[in-house]
Structure 1
Amino acid sequence: MPRSQSGKKRDKVDSEQLTRAVQECVNEGIALREAVRRYGVSKTTLIRHIRSFKNSGADRFTYSANNNVKQVFSKNEEEALTTYLIMAARLHYGLTKVEVRKLAYQYASAKEKRCPDTWNEKKMAGKEWLRQFMKRHSNLSLRKPESTSLARSTAFNRVNVTTFFANYKSVLSRGTFSAENIDETGITTVHVPPRIISPKGVKQVGQMTSGERGQNVTLIAAINALGNAIPPMLIFPRVHFKANMLKGGPVGSIGAANPSGWSNVDLFYKFMQHFANRVKPNIEKPTIILLDNHDSHISISTIDFCKANGIMLVTFHPHTSHKFQPLDRTVFGPLKTYYNKACSEWMLMHPAQPITIYDVAELIGKAFPQAFTPLNIQKGFKVAGLYPFDENIFQDHEFLASYVTDRPLIEKSNSSSDALPPASADGLPSTSSDTSLVSIRTRSVSHHP
């Protein structure tokens, strides 16, 4: 039944009362009006069920709901459609609401289903069908996807992940180490405003920020698998660093300046010295640092310093840090959230004043302890399979996106997890390169295992 514009809902049928009313009308011959009055059921509903009971030839009436008489797809067909939508999302080619409605119409046409006239007119399923479909399948939801580059989708495959874990396991087997993770993130003076209470009917609602484009301050952080973090390093977009730039920042943090606001070889070397002063690694008590392959991380000066101080560097495969980097997985996200909240509160307390780079350290000082908690840090190492060590942490479906390219893998894997899912035999588009009745966005996608 279509949703009522006035918000009215059809009254639910009391199956017990309806059963008694049908039995008395058929077996005892009481009048319809009397049965309606006595059991409080709808007259038209009672007439329909009495007629159905007589036509069935059954000895005893049994109530069964009949609210899906106009449902286009069967339960199995909807399950097949659901499976396809989940697979498309895991391939990083998920469908929008409009595309799902078009796909449903094409699916119905391929199955020669009887569709509402509006479907045939618009060549897509209706909005109400999609709403009810999503309601029936709770494992589906409307989400805003994260932008994932083709390089990341390609690089995160079973071969590269297996190679990294083999290298990491080899290093761990040499002795007892403390696992550390170092990474950078950018903090801007223009924050993202939170949701606010506003009047209805207004199409555009504004919230005060410092400007249209902000200045970037780089934060370099280090955490370990036990849930600890050392004070960060802040790199300001200036030629010369001044101590007052760190006013209100996290206790023990250090600062530096670079006109671009980003890290470089010299600044990262300075942070490694800061790291060594805090962690105190040595040849007898070495430590492992997990980090990406940024140019500033693999300079000769840094490598020599790490060798002399008992620091072993283990780098992630390029374009896989979004899965392996603990800071990216569970720490930097909350940091940005708490930082934006602190910026919003600052703007309320300082009307008509913009946030400058001289205020960033203080705002980070409020957000840092809330984001760099032992629980968040430990969770980051766990979900990446780094600590506790779990080389099977990533499921097969997480590698599916690497198949949606024409780029071959580095080497052939004999693992059964590299096998593609079988083609669909129910009329839905296949996730392989085989020709199908319907394809994502009316185009086929090829896979090369």
Structure 2
Amino acid sequence: MEKGMPVLKASRIFGVPRQTLRDRVKNVVSIDCVTTGRTPVFTLEEEGYIVNHIKSMANLGYGYTRQEAVDIGTRFAENLGKRKHTDPLTLRWFSGFVSRWPELRVLKPRSLEHLRAKAASPGNIQRYFTELDGIIKKYDLTDKPHLIFNVDEKGISQCHSPPHVVAGREVHPPAVTSGKSSTTTIIGCGSAAGFALPPYFVFQGARMHQDLLNGTSPGSNGCVSETGWSNSSVFRQYLEEHFLRFIPREDRYVLLLLDGHSTHISVGLIEWAKAHKIILFILPAHTSHILQPLDVGCFGPLQKIYNFECHKEMRLTASTISRYNIGSLASKAYTKALSPENLQNAFRKTGIYPFDSSAIDGTILEPSRVFSNDLDVKNSGDNACGPAEDEHTVVHRMTDFLAKKEATLISTKSEKQLKKTERKCLSKLTSGRCITEDEVEQAILNYKKDTSSRNTKNAANKKQDKGPILKEKEEATRVSTLNDSQTAGPSGAAVTHKPWLDDWNSEELDIEIREEEKCCVCKNFTPDAVRQSSVLQFVKWGKCNACGHWVHLRYCSKTIAVRRGAEFKCIHCS
């Protein structure tokens, strides 16, 4: 056709219908169109910009639903002048759009907590790997995977989640479970070499029975707690009685990676670890879903295998899942999930062993972009969806519309972060740090001292700044408890002595009360009528707008109540 060949001759030579060829020559149908039917609203280039924008928003953690994608397409078409506001796109357009782009699919995203999305930033991850690399080299653990361990807790319930089953299409079948139950915690630990310590169970209860460990793996142990969850004393007991029994003792340092839960950090635990040559390294806060080996490669399979074992147990036996057989079922799942292959892959995937600071996939860190305070990151969306604006006016219009949406999201989230003030907390000192190092331990000690003195000072200030109304309530409580002795009444029953019936002295009751907190009329904190009453009463106060003194309402003033914002004056100023 470029050499001037007639359309009819070209259609005969190449076997293309004449009308089809003529429509493309006259640009009635785009040359890029390879399907029959109605011509798409957008060209492939324009649809490419939409695809890139949809994928970018999904990677940031704020993806579009079907209808939202249709709305984006409608506004994009309006921006290009291809549609009017009264003629929007429909879900039928979306179906064709997805069929033309196989890289897109509709799926349910996994939940990601706000704190996890914010904490998993490239800067935090890089600082963590730099710190970890220094510790590994300092203690000569580069080629010693059998001395690198990770410990974590996993909660399981007697009421399991049923696995997928095969059933007929006509019904949605039920799955019988044990019902409401308590939580049992498994403390698991494994090394980069693939060695898994036997499980350690924390049952809910007040007294430990050995029957709870029937059928568990050899070497398994356990204890009880009030809630079934681990705590500081349970974790300390685990390290002393269970962890030390199974780790290699070659008079060499052992690296133990763990999350920054409060039960894992204490001054006493740090001193104990240093005495036993155990290096405690705290993972960065809220990043265990990408940096903790057991969370990344072991506890997910453990939960699925445990659910399968419980489902099988309920079908093959007459018993339900209880605290007496949950240990044996969990041990089977623990042994399969914490296999040597899974442990080695988990440590490799998290970049711990072999050490690799680039092991974390960059797409996992994308949600943290919206919380960045870097202005370059905020404005990076200007050219994120296509070529530079000076190439073509239409191209600029396309890229500008979609890029502004992403830039608006990033600027909104990051501006909110700029307004927040940094809180002083323990995790700021321990996150991504080795707490057995001297400088970190000293920082923790200083934080504990500052927190203790600050709490004491706040309590003293709170007690000193109590207003007259609160003091009135406290005085009533104090007076009612001055004498707890009981005397026999007329019926022979013991009655509590009421000290407010006695003739109390005004100075005795008003002790430790400042002069400005007393009534400016009667010069007492408690009116005489209330003091001499046999019934416990609370006194209302009013503050004079003229002199600023407090007055007893009803007793020392004709006013019974003062509404908020109303004018009130004492008898001296009225």
**TM, length-normalised to structure 2:** 0.61
* Shift, 1:84, TM fit: 1.3
Q: 1:280 to 1:134 in 2, by over 3 A?
A: same
Say if 2:110 is the partner of 1:146: yes
Say if 2:279 is the partner of 1:312: yes
Q: 1:105 to 1:354 in 2, by over 3 A?
A: farther
Which amino acid in 1 is paired with 2:351? G
CA distance in 1, matches of 2:11, 2:232: 90
* Match in the other structure for 1:262: 229
* Match in the other structure for 1:171: 135
Quote the sequence identity (%): 27
Select the structure with the greater relative contact order (CA < 8 A; seq sep ≥ 6): 1
Q: Unpaired runs of 5+ in structure 1?
A: 1-21, 28-45
Q: Deviations over 1:188-207 (max 9, x none)?
A: 111111222333344x4321
- Counterpart contact for 1:250–1:364, Cα < 8 Å: no
* Match in the other structure for 1:403: 369
Say if 2:232 is the partner of 1:239: no
CA distance in 2, matches of 1:150, 1:403: 13
* Shift, 1:255, TM fit: 0.8
Q: Unpaired runs of 5+ in structure 2?
A: 1-7, 142-146, 386-395, 419-574
CA distance in 1, matches of 2:277, 2:169: 61
- Counterpart contact for 2:380–2:407, Cα < 8 Å: no
Q: 1:389 to 1:88 in 2, by over 3 A?
A: same
* Residue of 402, 417, 423 corresponding to 1:429: 402
Q: Deviations over 1:141-178 (max 9, x none)?
A: 33322221111111111222222112111111113232
CA distance in 2, matches of 1:420, 1:313: 39
* Residue of 39, 43, 47 corresponding to 1:70: 39
Q: 1:350 to 1:311 in 2, by over 3 A?
A: same
Which amino acid in 2 is paired with 1:392? S
* Shift, 1:133, TM fit: 3.0
CA distance in 2, matches of 1:55, 1:333: 56
* Residue of 189, 194, 197 corresponding to 1:227: 194
Which amino acid in 2 is paired with 1:125? T
* Match in the other structure for 1:125: 90
* Residue of 120, 131, 134 corresponding to 2:98: 134
Q: 1:54 to 1:74 in 2, by over 3 A?
A: closer
Q: 1:225 to 1:431 in 2, by over 3 A?
A: farther
- Counterpart contact for 2:176–2:314, Cα < 8 Å: yes
Which amino acid in 1 is paired with 2:110? E
* Shift, 1:125, TM fit: 2.6
CA distance in 1, matches of 2:12, 2:110: 61
CA distance in 2, matches of 1:266, 1:194: 35
* Match in the other structure for 1:110: 79
* Shift, 1:339, TM fit: 0.5
**Equivalent residues, number:** 385
CA distance in 1, matches of 2:62, 2:285: 22
* Match in the other structure for 2:248: 280
CA distance in 2, matches of 1:158, 1:26: 60
* Shift, 1:432, TM fit: 6.5
* Match in the other structure for 2:324: 358
Structural RMSD (CA): 3.3
Q: Deviations over 1:237-270 (max 9, x none)?
A: 1111111111122221111101200001111112
Q: 1:51 to 1:89 in 2, by over 3 A?
A: closer
* Match in the other structure for 1:8: none
- Counterpart contact for 2:157–2:181, Cα < 8 Å: yes
CA distance in 1, matches of 2:347, 2:378: 25
* Residue of 189, 211, 218 corresponding to 2:185: 218
* Match in the other structure for 1:394: 360
- Counterpart contact for 1:225–1:381, Cα < 8 Å: yes
* Match in the other structure for 1:155: 119
**TM, length-normalised to structure 1:** 0.76
CA distance in 2, matches of 1:362, 1:332: 17
* Match in the other structure for 1:180: 149
* Match in the other structure for 2:337: 371
